[in-house]
Amino acid sequence: MSQSRLLRSADYPRMPWKNGTGSTLEIARDAGDGLDGFGWRLSIADVGESGGFSAFTGYQRVITVLEGAGMRLEVDGQRSRDLTSLDAFAFDGGSTVQCELIDGPIRDFNLIYSPKRYAARLQWLRADGGLKLFSSASTLLLFAAESGVSLTFDGQRSEVLGQHDCLHLETTGALAELKLDGTGACCLIELTPR
């Protein structure tokens, strides 16, 4: 039997960055206290100026610009492509990372997870006209970049997600059909314990 929770963006707690230079809205995590101990964590960060990223040694990170012109990252001395809206970029959480904003402040979406504890898959999709997928992940997270998407899982249809809302499903891990309905861009994250 699957369990679902609809997390509304207005309820996300604000937490300080590990390096103390900004703050994050925490969407969800599997466990742990503060900024340590979790196996996976989803968050939204407001980045007001160029600068360094906090290190999360032992974790993988996938970051996506949600709002603003975008950014370039330098990861362990290697420059990234220009990262603009809904273009996901993955890197080692323990890397030395410098961020250069392209044209003013941005808001970004972050998945941080322990690859020793979880296998992860992250996809940006559009629900326009309905989209069917299949997954055997034990944790499914559907994040709405825009309002108007809903998910049917195991014959149960969720409420419609507003902008930056997140649907968190814990499943049995059996292969199941997912159907995305509505309009707008969304991110589907699949996590399975190793």
148 found inside a domain: yes
Give the tens place of pLDDT for each residue, 59-96. Answer: 999 999 999 999 999 999 999 999 999 999 999 999 99
For residues 85 and 56, membership in a common domain is answered with yes
- The separation between CA 84 and the C-alpha centre of its own chain, rounded to angstroms, equals 15
Q: Based on the domain organization, do 91 and 187 belong to the same domain?
A: no
> Of the candidates 93, 113, 133, which is a domain's last residue?
113
Query: DSSP assignment, residue 10?
Result: G
Query: pLDDT class for 35, splitting at 50, 70, 90?
Result: low
**Tell me: the pLDDT tens digits for 172-186?**
999 999 999 998 899
Question: What is the arithmetic mean of pLDDT over 19-31?
Answer: 83
Tell me: do 150 and 89 sit in the same domain: no
How far apart (Å, rounded) are the C-alpha atoms in residues 187 and 145? 7
Residue 180 included in any domain: yes
pLDDT reported for residue 130: 85
Task: Read off the pLDDT of residues 133-183 as tens digits, 9 standing for 90 and up.
Answer: 999 999 999 999 999 999 999 888 999 999 999 999 999 999 999 999 998
Do residue 122 and residue 144 come from a single domain?
A: yes
Q: How far is CA 102 from CA 8, 51, 69, 85, 145, in A?
A: 30, 12, 6, 12, 21
* pLDDT range class, residue 5, cuts 50, 70, 90: very high
Q: Is the pLDDT of residue 33 over 70?
A: no
Rounded Cα–Cα distance for residues 97 and 85 (Å): 19
pLDDT at 128: 82
Q: Which of 85, 113, 141 represents a domain boundary (last residue)?
A: 113
Residue 89 sits in the same domain as residue 134? no
Same domain for 63 and 82, yes or no, is: yes
How many Cβ atoms are within 10 Å of 113's Cβ, its own excluded? 25
Residue 22 has pLDDT above 80, yes or no: no
Share of the chain above pLDDT 70, in %: 95
What residues pair up with 190 in beta bridges, in sequence order? 121, 140
Q: pTM of this prediction?
A: 0.93
- Per-residue pLDDT tens for 37-49? 899 999 999 998 8
**What's the domain range around 104?**
6-113
pLDDT of residue 20 exceeding 70, the answer is no
Answer yes or no: do 104 and 139 share one domain. no
Q: What is the DSSP letter of 39?
A: S
Q: Are 130 and 67 in contact (CB under 8 A)?
A: no
Same domain, 85 and 170: no
Number of domains the chain is built from: 2
